[in-house]
Each structure stands twice: as structure tokens, then as C-alpha cells.
């Protein structure tokens, strides 16, 4: 049985919006009805490259027959754009973070509940194959701690939020995803050296199941690094999220106790196609979304706890 062709749109054609457009355009069972942005040069570029209809007015795009849209505008516009999409009864995926604040995130969730609409949040790292492997390897294990490093140079495209909402939000979500637990205690120290928002943060937390967690994230490192390390009572797991390489260190006893190292093969797969496929399949089949609006709201609420708690309590 052939799948229903999904009619989709993309709102916002920055770096991530263009990736969504490319991925949708490569899906055989998807029709890109149109895209919207306020920059005419960008619209001309995607018209030539993808042959899609373009709109500079959001209402004109939303007047088209749409089964779903991706909202990839700057975070400060997530609330007004998301509300306008839902007023037209269109299911939507909003790129992370869900909104500029937890209060705005709640407005989006309330509107989705009122309209009975699916609302997914694009926490893309959940679809990273290295993350999936790490989650598999810690299943049933007595996890002691998780450490995540997500650092790199300052991205000029980010102007409206600090490093915690931009980069740290990935890992606040991932720690909850991997541990299957909520944040019991969380605090941070931050610094701002290049603008009004924080550009370096060290976040420390304890989960309700006792797991200790730490996130090192910044925009002041000259190279990009995305690594997760998980310590359990029987092994140590380290994953590189960029190369999707995963290693497991298993301790064994001998005259000099040391570790055996096992490399877990992971077939490299781009996360965005997996994310958008999961989104559209859930809409087609009426399944629960893999990442809900409430998941995105929890991340925002945790971020606000982090920003309100600059020292250990």
C-alpha cells in the first residue's frame, strides 16, 4: 500500500530551514507546497535550487493546502508564528527550543491542546545514531554519571539567545532522554564575553534516580566538539556525536586491573531525515509524536531553573 503524499511547508529559511527544505524535497512521498521567508534573495535562491513556490507573506503560505509545516524561524518568533499556524489547524514541528521562554512555550502547548493539533519539537540529537547506541548500552545499567561537552566557535547566525538555549538545550534534553529521569537539582555558572547573552556555561545536575550530570557548553572554543561520556558500575561509554563513533570500556580484573575497549559500529545517518520521517509518519498513522511539546517545555523550564540558580544549592 502506497503512503499518503504529505503536503508540507517550511517557514524560515535560515541554516536549519534550508536543511528541512532539502530533506523534504528528497522524500518521494512528500510534496513541498511552499516555503516562506522575509528575505527576497533567499527566496530567489531556493526557487532556483529546489523549484518550489515561495512566499514572503506567512498568511499566503498558510492559505495553501498543508498537512504539516516546519517552523524554523528565530526563537523569538516561535510563539507568534506557531500560534498563527495552529489557527489554520495545521500540525507543526517547531525547531528547538520550543519558545523564547517557558511562559511562551505553555501558550503554544495550550493552543495545540485547544485545537487538538500535533506539536513536535525539533530536538534533533535524539535522532543521532551515536546517541541511540549510548541509550541502548546503558539500558539496565546502574548509571553513575553523564558528562557532555558541546563547544565551538561563536555562530554569527545566533543573535537572539545565549549558548544555554542554543547549544545547552540539546544536552538538557539528552540527559533526560538517556537516563529516563527528571532533574532534581540543577545549577550553573556562566560568563558573557562577546555580547549580552552568556557564551560559556558549566551546568551541573542530579537526576531523581541519582545520576549525576554535567554539561560543558560554550562559543569560545576554536573547534567543534560534541561528546558524551557515561560511567556505570560496570563500564564506561564515550560517544563522538559528530563522527557517530561509540567506544565501550569494560573493566576486568587481573594482576593490573585495566579495561578492554570495544568499538560499537554505528551506520552513519544524517539525523534530520530521521527526525522529519518520524514526524510525518506519526501524522500519517496517528501515532504519538517522538518528541512532544511537553518535552520541549520541560527543557525550557529546566533552562530557566539553570539561569535562576547560578550557584549550587
Residue 220 lies in a domain: yes
313 domain-assigned: no
Counting the structural domains of the chain, the total is 2
Q: Is residue 55 part of a domain?
A: yes
| pLDDT of 238 above 90 | yes
Residue 77 region by backbone torsions, left for phi larger than 0, else alpha for psi between -120 and 50, else beta = alpha
DSSP classification of residue 39:
-
Structural domain contains residue 194: yes
Residue 206 counted as domain residue: yes
pLDDT at residue 312 greater than cutoff 50? no
Within a domain: residue 186?
yes
Q: What is the pLDDT at residue 158?
A: 64
Question: Residue 224's domain is classified under what CATH number?
Answer: 3.30.360.10
pLDDT exceeds 90 at position 162:
no
Backbone angles phi, psi at 193, to 5 degrees: -125, -15
* 249 and 131 both lie in a single domain: yes
Nearest-5° angle of CA 39, CA 31, CA 46?
A: 25
Do both 99 and 151 map to the same domain? no
The DSSP symbol for 55 reads: E
Judgement on whether residues 66 and 24 belong to the same structural domain of the protein: yes
Q: CA 76 to CA 300: how far, in whole Å? A: 13
Q: In this structure, is the dihedral angle defined by the CA atoms of residues 120, 122, 311 and 144, taken in order, positive or negative?
A: positive
Residue whose C-alpha is closest to residue 296's, from 143, 79, 56: 79
Question: Global pTM?
Answer: 0.91
Tell me, yes or no, whether 120 and 166 share the same domain: no
Are 283 and 252 contained in the same domain?
no
The reported pLDDT for the residue numbered 251 is 73
- My answer on whether 172 and 131 are in the same domain is yes
The CATH number given to whatever domain includes residue 96 is: 3.40.50.720
Note whether 77 and 149 are same-domain residues. no
Could you give the strand order of the β-sheet that contains 143-153, starting from the edge strand earlier in sequence? 183-191, 200-207, 212-218, 143-153, 220-232, 235-240, 245-252, 258-264
Domain assignment of residue 280, yes or no: yes
Residue scoring higher pLDDT (196 or 121): 121
Question: CA separation (Å) from 20 to 64, 127, 201?
Answer: 19, 15, 29
Do 278 and 259 lie in one domain? The reply is: no
**Residue 293 lies inside a defined structural domain of this protein:** no
Residues 218 and 264 in one domain: yes
- For range 173-198, the mean pLDDT: 91
Q: How confident is the model at residue 216 (pLDDT cuts 50, 70, 90)?
A: very high
Is residue 141 scored above 80 in pLDDT?
A: yes
> Do 156 and 78 belong to one domain?
no
Q: What is the pLDDT of residues 16-61, one digit of tens each?
A: 999 999 999 999 999 999 999 999 999 999 999 999 999 999 999 9
Which pLDDT belongs to residue 313? 39
Asked whether residue 255 carries a pLDDT value surpassing 60, the answer given is no
- Assess whether 105 and 167 both reside in one domain: no
List the grid coordinates of 231. 560511567
Query: What domain range includes position 28?
Result: 6-124+272-288
Residues 186 and 246 reside in one and the same domain: yes
Amino acid at each position: 500500500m502506497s503512503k499518503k503524499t504529505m503536503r508540507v511547508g517550511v517557514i524560515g529559511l535560515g541554516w536549519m530551514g534550508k536543511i528541512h527544505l532539502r530533506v523534504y524535497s528528497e522524500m518521494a512521498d512528500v510534496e513541498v507546497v511552499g516555503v516562506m521567508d522575509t528575505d527576497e534573495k533567499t527566496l530567489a535562491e531556493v526557487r532556483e535550487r529546489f523549484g518550489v513556490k515561495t512566499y514572503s507573506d506567512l498568511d499566503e503560505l498558510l492559505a495553501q493546502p498543508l498537512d504539516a509545516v516546519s517552523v524554523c524561524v528565530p526563537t523569538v518568533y516561535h510563539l507568534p508564528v506557531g500560534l498563527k499556524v495552529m489557527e489554520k489547524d495545521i500540525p507543526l514541528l517547531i525547531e528547538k527550543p520550543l519558545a523564547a521562554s517557558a511562559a511562551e512555550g505553555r501558550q503554544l502547548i495550550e493552543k495545540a491542546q485547544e485545537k487538538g493539533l500535533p506539536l513536535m519539537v525539533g530536538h534533533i540529537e535524539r535522532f543521532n545514531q551515536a546517541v541511540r547506541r549510548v541509550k541502548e548500552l546503558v539500558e539496565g545499567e546502574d548509571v553513575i554519571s553523564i558528562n557532555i561537552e558541546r563547544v565551538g566557535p561563536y555562530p554569527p547566525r545566533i543573535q537572539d539567545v545565549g549558548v544555554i538555549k542554543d547549544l545547552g538545550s540539546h544536552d538538557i534534553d539528552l540527559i533526560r532522554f538517556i537516563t529516563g529521569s527528571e532533574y532534581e537539582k540543577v545549577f550553573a555558572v556562566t560568563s558573557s564575553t562577546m555580547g549580552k547573552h552568556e557564551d560559556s556555561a558549566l551546568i551541573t545536575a542530579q537526576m531523581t534516580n541519582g545520576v549525576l550530570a554535567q554539561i560543558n557548553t560554550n562559543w569560545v572554543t576554536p573547534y567543534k566538539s560534541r561528546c558524551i561520556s557515561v560511567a556505570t558500575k560496570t563500564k564506561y561509554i564515550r560517544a563522538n556525536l559528530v563522527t557517530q563513533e561509540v567506544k565501550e570500556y569494560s573493566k576486568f580484573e587481573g594482576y593490573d586491573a585495566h579495561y578492554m575497549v570495544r568499538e560499537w559500529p554505528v551506520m552513519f545517518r544524517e539525523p534530520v531525515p530521521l527526525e522529519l520521517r518520524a514526524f510525518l509518519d506519526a501524522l500519517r498513522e496517528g501515532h504519538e509524536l517522538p518528541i512532544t511539546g511537553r518535552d520541549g517545555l520541560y527543557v525550557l523550564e529546566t533552562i530557566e531553573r539553570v539561569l535562576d540558580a547560578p550557584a549550587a544549592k
